Structure 1
Amino acid sequence: MSRSRVLCVSADRSTRASLTLSLTDAPVDVIIAQRFVDAIDRLNHESIDAVVIDARTIANTAALVDAVESGTPTFVYQETDGDTGAVLARVTTPAADDESATRLSNTITEHIAAGTDAELPTEPEGDAGGSATADGTVAAERDLPDDLERLVSRVRSRLVDATSLLTVERVLREELTDGDRFAFVWLGEYDRRERAIIPWLSDPDATEWPLQQTFDIGTGDHPLLERVIRTRTLRTHQYDADTSGAVPFDDRAFERGVRSVAAIPLAANGDLYGVAVIYATERLSEHERDAVRAIAEAASHVLETIAVRGRLEQRERTLNRYERLVETAGDGMYVLDDAGHLMTVNDALVEMTGFSREGLLGEHVSILFDPEDIEAGKTIIRSLLASGESTDTLELSVETKAGATIPCEVQIAVLVPDGEFRGSVGVLRDVTERKRQERKLRERNERLDAFARIVSHDLRNPLGVAQGYLDLFEETGDSGYAAKTRNGLDRMESIIDDVLAIAREGEWAADTEPVDLESVAREAWAHVSTAGATLSVTETMTLSADRSRLLRLLENCFRNSIEHGETTETVRIGPLENDERPDAARGFVIEDDGEGLPAKLRDELFDPSASTSTEGLGIGLWIVREVATGHGWSVVATESESGGARLEFELDAQFSD
């Protein structure tokens, strides 16, 4: 078992020897420091279990006590004659007395064994208020003289409506200095970070005392204030012309007839709100000390009320800002308890889901999310708790009251006050538009890939054919081969025109307008080499379309019928019948009487990967599909009554996301 270390701070050899001798049989090691700076160095760099300070030989005792780590038993060792103040515990016999040193050693070892920093009982101090006990309370409440009772009553009465620190300062200053008993009063706040007392000034012009400054604590410059901060009890100080440094304004106070000073903490329920410093023209009597305590107690309760009210108002403002933020947020927000029940929802979530607030609160989160998404959310929460991270995101779907689903991204944060998991917070963002854009980008990329495959295939075929006929022409000189070569080049030019149209025009339905089907069909027919075939318009109709794009669609359909039908004589175009409404067409149809399409290709005809024809079947019909899709139409390949090809275009097609 390791031995406890006791630091003895004394410049007197006999004191050090007495203490060391008295602790010979105790399970402790005595560490010696002869000066203040030596003690501070040991406290900063060594493990110390208890401290004994010889106040008779060590200056700045208060500062040294203040430097001792909280919880370490600390004892000030001094004689009874004189008053050096700053006592946590003391022995009332001379330092060199063996019996007193033995008693002190016993007390030290008892406190070390108990592991506490409890103070030794003290005898009444000449400057501490007579009947005050060690913790500063009055042993028995005494009846105050009438004038002091009236003073306390006036202060209490004026403090009833006080709502600010400066009001408390003004009331105490005005009431205490109204008579001849007290010359001056000031109040200050203890700034723990700066380790300084900062005076409150409700009326800087009301006093000639220079209070526009701060008073450092812990430096030993103001020992009376330091004792008050440390012990939280009333402390008094008497001085004359030869006394200085105990409290602020010593010289000025003495010149103005001040002969004693009382400093008392303004504290309640363990919280220190300030310090009141009162300068008196005579030594304070027991009754005056009691009156000061009563006034300080009343002021302390008022300051506590002001502080509590301030904290509540701050909390309310914070809560209001939070609520406004939550309610005005465009994203849906919710709070779940640790079992996954909805505890809070905002207006955006209510609007998003279609549920009422009452319909959501208290319900399990499964009312909004499916089991897989809930399990994914639990996994994220477990990960956050294990890693200590603050937030993470998850993509999921929110189910509305109407049964629809909304793709969302949720940012999840866990609630772990005091290290205990209490629930989670989620911020839901509707990503429908983002998903739509992602889908469009994905489809566009797929189209580009298909486009590249089709172009490389369909351009290579006619080029190869043209090169073959050109070789035969050079070998034989037969002009028939030259004509076939020219046909291949013409086909390549047609393909290039379509490619340029795609590259330049981009979207396949930019500007729509009412278009007459027969008019645009005949114009498209005139653009195509139709040999001996004829165009038959069974009936016209008006449809909303981008005329230039529709023209290209019809050109490709007609060219496909002529070039791939081989025996095609007639190409017919007209409305697509509507079985539910005979008087209103549901689209239009293009069919021919040629050889028709192989059954195995009909289902794949508008799949870009189906570009297998040596004559370039793919790109023409791929353009047909793209134009139709750009207009929101669907296209289906089937067989006509004569056995030829039939393409049905439905105008009000429904597409899934």
Structure 2
Amino acid sequence: MPAREAKRSASTAISRSVTDYLQKTGGIEQCEVLTNRIRNNVDRYYTERELERSREFFSRVLNLNPSAIVVLDEYGGIVRANERAETILGLCESQLLNRTFDDAHWDVVDEEGTLISDNALPFNRVRETGEPVYNVEHGIRRAEGDVVWVSINAAPLWNEQNEIENVVAVLSDTTAQKRKSQTLQATIKQLEGFGRVLSHDLGNILQIAKGRLELSRETGHEEHFEAVDDSIDRAAAMLGELTTAMQAGRLVDEVSMIRLDDVFDQAWRSQATAKATDEVEEGIQIQANEMALQRMFENLIRNAFEHGTDTATVRVGSLADGFYVEDNGPGIPVEEREKVFEPEYTTKKDGTGTGLASIHQIALAHGWDVDIREGSDGGARFDFTNVQMSSPQHDTT
């Protein structure tokens, strides 16, 4: 066969997956070469087959593992990730392979939401010390803004030169436990604050009862005793409200559609309002807890008197998605408006700072937004929005 045709035949054979070729020349030497090549190719075939089986077995083991497993190279680049890692991190393996442990597409944060420095992350700790790390809990804030919480165990893999070649990290998703713990802590903190606020509100009721008793001694008029009875009933109901809140784990349990003017009128009558004036828009109906709303109104009325005078005017009106309460007192300076809802913050020498905190707490418990601005007469105005309203025609009372 001519040399050109021989080369063409060899090229065609190789293109059709022939592993090797040998030119036909004859002689025992060529038979030995052929034998060695066959043996080598068979050995290589079985070696590659064994490697492929090992890779498949390794992949199955990785993907059946209930924990997320991520393998990083010596520079912190991700070189392998199992299916659980894809689920936890919200990315497929091909996407993960383009990322590093300190990738800009995600932030690693602590419980306060503060970024953790790269040097403090498990990969760097393993690289620097050569020692494994265990049960390191971090939050990974993904590009979408959500945070997944993971507990991380990481260990080094050494090569034959006693150098760290890879770092293997095992991640367990602790998001559900973390959120449950955060919810529990928030509830405890909320109930603690509720107890402080309720104590303040009970103090208001007792002060009113004490004032009425003094008036009854001075005047002998029985209507003051009726006011004292009302105050005692209110105090007892408020204590029951605390018990319900602690059992339910929330501050506002049952809500119903109520008339705003009726509840405000009850709050107005519970305060010493003989010299004051109220102007209330009629027909406003909202979804609220009646007792909690009355407490909120009582604090707003008391705030108007304490920071203004007992001749103050308090107005209540409707908004597109809520209502407002304003007075004609001195108002609240702009620079103070962000602080007044903080517990124990007060501008009065003998104030407790709890009244406005109570207002804020009750609004939040209903899911309302509350904003402070200047009233129409220069006083303080509180806007309550995101309130579930009802039009007046739905009133059946």
Cα deviation code 1:112-156 (max 9, x no counterpart): xxxxxxxxxxxxxxxxxxxxxxxxxxxxxxxxxxxxxxxxxxxxx
User: CA separation in 2, counterparts of 1:638 and 1:617?
Assistant: 22
- Residue matched to 1:45: none
Given the alignment of the two structures, is residue 340 of structure 1 paired with residue 83 of structure 2, yes or no?
no
CA pair 589-498 structure 1, distance change in 2 beyond 3 A? same
Q: Deviations over 1:617-652 (max 9, x none)?
A: 866654432332123322123331023432111318
Give the superposition deviation at 1:343.
Answer: 0.7
Does residue 497 (structure 1) correspond to residue 240 (structure 2)? The answer is: no
* Structure 2 Cα separation of the partners of residues 626 and 347 of structure 1: 44
Aligned equivalents of 1:651, 1:451: Cα separation in 2? 22
The aligned residue for residue 521 of structure 1 is: 260
- Cα distance, 1:435–1:631 mapped onto 2, change above 3 Å: farther
Letter in 1 for 2:366: H
2:152 to 394, 408, 411: 411
**In structure 2, which of residues 113, 123, 140 is the aligned counterpart of residue 398 of structure 1?**
140
- The question of 1:361 aligning with 2:109 is answered no
Is the counterpart of residue 425 in structure 1 residue 168 in structure 2?
Answer: yes
1:572 correspondence with 2:316: yes
1:526 deviates by: 4.7
1:590/1:648 contact within 8 Å kept: yes
Cα 1:323–1:341 shift into 2, 3 Å: same
Distance in 2, matches of 1:485 and 1:619, equals: 28
The unaligned stretches of length 5 or more in structure 1 are 1-307, 576-584, 653-657
- Matched-pair contact (CA < 8 Å) for 1:561–1:645: no
CA contact (8 A) 2:149 2:175 kept: yes
**Matched position secondary structure for 2:234:** helix
Matches of 2:386 and 2:293, distance apart in 1: 15
Q: Cα RMSD over matched residues?
A: 4.7
> For residue 243 of structure 2, what is the amino acid of its counterpart?
A
Equivalent of 2:281 in 537, 544, 553: 537
Structure 1 position 378, deviation (Å): 4.1
Q: Which amino acid aligns with 1:442?
A: Q
What is the distance in 2 between the residues matched to 1:522 and 1:469?
25
Match of 1:437 in 2: 180
Question: 2:381 — aligned with what?
Answer: 646
> What's the TM-score once normalised by structure 1's chain length?
0.40
Q: Which residue of 1 aligns with 2:126?
A: 381
1:139-182 CA-partner distances (Å, limit 9, x unpaired): xxxxxxxxxxxxxxxxxxxxxxxxxxxxxxxxxxxxxxxxxxxx
Matches for 1:202-213 after TM superposition, within 5 Å: none
Contact 2:127 2:156 survives alignment (8 Å) = no
Distance 2:282 2:233 in 1: 32
Give 1:587 deviation, angstroms: 3.4
Greater RCO structure (CA 8 Å; 6+ sep): 2
After superposition, residues 96-111 of structure 1 pair within 5 angstroms as none
Please list, as runs of the form range in 1=range in 2, the aligned pairs for 1:41-440 lying within 5 A after superposition.
318-326=57-65, 329=66, 332-361=68-97, 363-367=99-103, 368-369=106-107, 372-376=116-120, 377-378=122-123, 380-381=125-126, 385-386=130-131, 391-402=133-144, 404=145, 406-416=147-157, 420-440=163-183
Distance change in 2, residues 1:399/1:601 (3 Å): closer
More helix by percentage: 2
1:322 Cα deviation (Å)?
Answer: 0.7
User: Which residue matches 2:192?
Assistant: 449
Whole-Å separation in 1 of the counterparts to 2:351 and 2:234 = 11
C-alpha change, 1:641 and 1:485, in structure 2 (3 Å) is: same
SS, match of residue 642 in structure 1:
coil
Whether the 8 Å CA contact 2:141–2:147 is kept in 1: the answer is yes
Task: Describe the SS at the equivalent of 2:183.
Answer: helix
The Cα offsets for residues 339-393 of structure 1, whole Å up to 9 and x where unpaired, read as 211111233444554544333315432224568443112454158734xxx5512
Seen in structure 2, the aligned counterparts of structure 1 residues 433 and 552 have a Cα distance that, compared at 3 Å, is farther
Is the radius of gyration larger for structure 1 or structure 2? 1
* Aligned residues with identical type, % of pairs: 22
Work out the CA distance in 2 between the residues paired with 1:335 and 1:324.
13
1:439 offset after TM fit, Å? 3.4
Please state if 1:606 is matched with 2:341. Answer: yes
**Matched residues, number:** 318
What is aligned with 1:552?
291
For residue 567 of structure 1, report the CA deviation from its aligned partner: 2.2
Residue pair 1:462, 1:615 contacting (<8 A) in 2 also: no
1:399–1:440 CA distance, 2 compared to 1 (3 A): closer
Mean CA deviation greater in 616-625 or 551-560: 616-625
SS at match of 1:608: coil
TM-score, length-scaled by structure 2 = 0.61
Counterpart residue type for residue 410 of structure 1: S
- DSSP 3-state at the match of 1:630: helix
Which residue in the other structure is 1:590 paired with? Answer: 325
SS at match of 1:528: helix
